[in-house]
Structure 1
Amino acid sequence: MKQLLVALVLVLGTTPGWAQWLDRPWQDIPRTADGAPDLAAPTPRGPDGKPDLSGLWNGEPPLARLDPTILEPWVMELALQRQQEYYRSRPYYQCLPSGPEVEQSADWKRIVQTPAMLVILDEELTYRVVHTDGRELEANPVPSWMGYSVGRWEDDTLVVETNGYNDQTWVSRRGVSHSEQLHVTERYRRPDFGHLRVDVTITDPGAFSEPWGYSVEFELAADTEMLEAICDRTSDAWTGNLSDSSDRAVSVPVETLERYVGAYTGVYGGAERTFDVTLSDGQLTATIIRGYTSSGLGAAGLGEGAPRLLVPQSETQFDGLGLGFRFVAGDEGVATELIVTHISGNYTYTRDE
């Protein structure tokens, strides 16, 4: 899906002139005594005295927890249907703009601030224009993928209001939709030279019974450059559904399942993670109890951290919401390792003592 241009990377590794762009020091920025960018330096300001938000920013995807009880029934029904289809209709997987999707609110962004507008450039080649010239949002704009944005200053905070989204985008990669009544409010604060915080509030009476929100923390990515990331193939060729694993389910004795119960700890995405495997009514369930940092909305059955019913495909191999789980038993038949198969590879988790 999203890929850095391999050819560009190869050239960067062989052409000194181009390679300098990725580690070329920026000019005219504050630095510490050792020459590093001084991220704690005072906030830069424009001629009007307001914070200048310009810069190249990088942030971790936020943890957005959404109470499932505020979802309108049609939103939950559609999200669960998309889950069964491995989310293959996600706009991002179709090489379409992600619009207001939570997971695309962070990562790499370049902000260019002028007196009349703020331009936000994303690494996947989409962009937004926030007009700060005093205009107001239109009541009934032509729906668009990225919406229409206006901004105003409240002291040192830039408040951005956006409407006019079409209903083709999602607010979460977990399949959570919105209606064309969606209204997004963002509050941008730059407390010092090297940090930017964005507080986001989502309001959509057609999809959610009350507003909800999340925050994104960015750090200035000084002395480097942003490479483009492109989507060069869609999910049209994806096949299968989650229900397929139930059709292939086999019967496993409860005595065998009992040997798999326990906590298993390993490393995923550079962080320690623990799966807790439990047994109830003859069914195994796996739940991430530590190291869950994904930005899934957390609605029951939707988020990565939601409990996963393990459907047996053999005595040792199970399927759980699209992930493969294989238990490795020791000499006494009790599982000592859990191998979780993800699209990015196999990850080994060792049973906790």
Structure 2
Amino acid sequence: MKRVMFPIIIAALATPLTAQWLKYPTPGTPRNADGKPSLAAPAPRTADGKPDLSGIWQRSSLKYERNVAADLKPGEIQPWAESLVRQRAEDLQKDSPGIQCLPWGPADNTSARRSKIIQNPGVIVMLNEDLTYRQIFLDGRRLETDPFPSWMGHSVGRWEGDTLVVDSNGFNDRSWLDHDGHPHSEALRITERYRRVDFGHMNIEVTLNDPQVYAHPWTVSLRAELTPDGDLLESVCNESHTSLEHWVGKLSDEKSVEVKVSPEILAKYVGTYEEQDFWGNRPHPAMIEITVSDGALFAELKGREKLRLAAQSDTNFAGFYGLGIQFVTDARGTVTHLLERRISKDYRFRRVR
């Protein structure tokens, strides 16, 4: 059975591994004695004294990028919405706007994506590698009470001290809030707070409020790291969008072909594994923790929930966010690393403990 899931599609089609003008020095960047950018230097300011958010920023939030509702309790999401999330998981998220080559919409606000901020006194523009963009107007206008629904919404901003506060509405209800497929209505309103703490780091808080779907507003936190000495490289989904022909099967199919693996073999895999082949634009290596409980293997990508893996053989397992995991041993039978199986290539995680 051929099957491709959301993270695999992203690796194969939508995420460039390098940026244009990769080594071109960004003007105005403070540098250490070795010539490398000093990300801990003070945050720059514009001529009018406001913090300057300009630059290319890589957002990260392992806890929320897949499930923005991770902090909500049972009953705080409308039953029909919870059912829809489960159905989208069973269908391997194949109807996700990103997979369908449509704009990410509000999911972009909390995703681990790279964007370029261009700041002017009256407007801030955010450019994405998939050619979508946002305009945040700082000219004093208010959000419209009955806006035309759009994929990326409508945004206005203001400064509260050194924090940029952005209010957005006008999202159409065709987009998702995250990878897992949490829905929203056209009543969705989002408030973001951006604070550049030094030259290379920014804290972001995103508050989502949709009373038609969720019991109360909630806030998620992200961090962003500046990626100087480079630029965006466009990523056009439709240029090579052929993988949907392989998108067959259901999530539950993994359980139907699960095999039994002895406790002795499972115990050999327990440990911590560090990413060696960086995928996408992550500035730091990911870590996977492997544990055993009740005769089953579990994998936890640091910062997220534990996932039960379904054994397909003694060394191959499914169920890791739609990806496969294969454990590799040396000639003595010692587990040295694992492979995160993607359609684009296998990504190696070295065992460190």
**What TM-score range do you get, normalising by the shorter chain?**
0.7 to 0.9
Q: Distance in 2 between matches of 1:37 and 1:184?
A: 33
Q: Per residue, is there more strand in 1 or in 2?
A: 1
Q: Distance in 2 between matches of 1:236 and 1:107?
A: 22
Q: How many residues align?
A: 318
- Secondary structure of 1:83's aligned partner: helix
Contact 2:273 2:337 in 1 (8 A): no
Q: Which amino acid letter does the alignment assign opposite residue 72 of structure 2?
A: D
2:70 is equivalent to residue 55 of structure 1: no
Unaligned runs of 5+ in 2: 1-12, 65-69, 279-284
Partner residue of 1:236?
244
Contact 1:58 1:221 in 2 (8 A): yes
1:87 Cα offset (Å): 1.1
Partner residue of 2:299?
288
Contact 1:63 1:214 in 2 (8 A): no
Tell me which moved more, 157-166 or 93-102.
Answer: 93-102
Partner residue of 1:30?
30
Q: 1:111 to 1:80 in 2, by over 3 A?
A: same
The 5-angstrom pairing of residues 34-45 of structure 1 reads 34-45=34-45
Partner residue of 1:345?
346
Q: Which amino acid letter does the alignment assign opposite residue 236 of structure 1?
A: L
Larger Rg: 1 or 2?
Answer: 1
Residue of structure 2 aligned with 1:66, choices 64, 71, 78: 71
Contact 2:204 2:221 in 1 (8 A): yes
Residue of structure 2 aligned with 1:190, choices 180, 190, 196: 196
Partner residue of 1:105?
111
Contact 2:147 2:170 in 1 (8 A): yes
The 5-angstrom pairing of residues 196-345 of structure 1 reads 196-231=202-237, 232=239, 233=241, 236-237=244-245, 238-248=247-257, 252=260, 257-262=262-267, 263-268=270-275, 270-279=285-294, 284-289=295-300, 291-293=301-303, 305-308=305-308, 310=310, 319-320=318-319, 322-324=322-324, 342-343=341-342, 344-345=345-346
Contact 2:59 2:112 in 1 (8 A): yes
Q: Which amino acid letter does the alignment assign opposite residue 27 of structure 2?
A: Q
Contact 1:61 1:103 in 2 (8 A): no
1:234 Cα offset (Å): 5.7
Partner residue of 1:301?
none
1:135 Cα offset (Å): 0.8
Q: 1:119 to 1:62 in 2, by over 3 A?
A: farther
Partner residue of 2:6?
none
* Alignment deviations for residues 64-97 of structure 1 (CA, whole Å, 9 cap, x no partner): 2333422221222111111111111111111111
Q: 1:258 to 1:106 in 2, by over 3 A?
A: closer
Q: Distance in 1 between matches of 2:104 and 2:155?
A: 16
Q: Which amino acid letter does the alignment assign opposite residue 59 of structure 1?
A: R
Q: 1:273 to 1:318 in 2, by over 3 A?
A: closer
Contact 1:157 1:189 in 2 (8 A): yes
Contact 2:56 2:117 in 1 (8 A): yes
2:91 is equivalent to residue 79 of structure 1: no
Q: Distance in 2 between matches of 1:130 and 1:204?
A: 21
* Alignment deviations for residues 304-335 of structure 1 (CA, whole Å, 9 cap, x no partner): x343263x6567765436444668999xxx99
Q: Distance in 2 between matches of 1:247 and 1:313?
A: 10
Q: Distance in 1 between matches of 2:24 and 2:349?
A: 39
Task: Give RMSD over aligned pairs.
Answer: 3.5
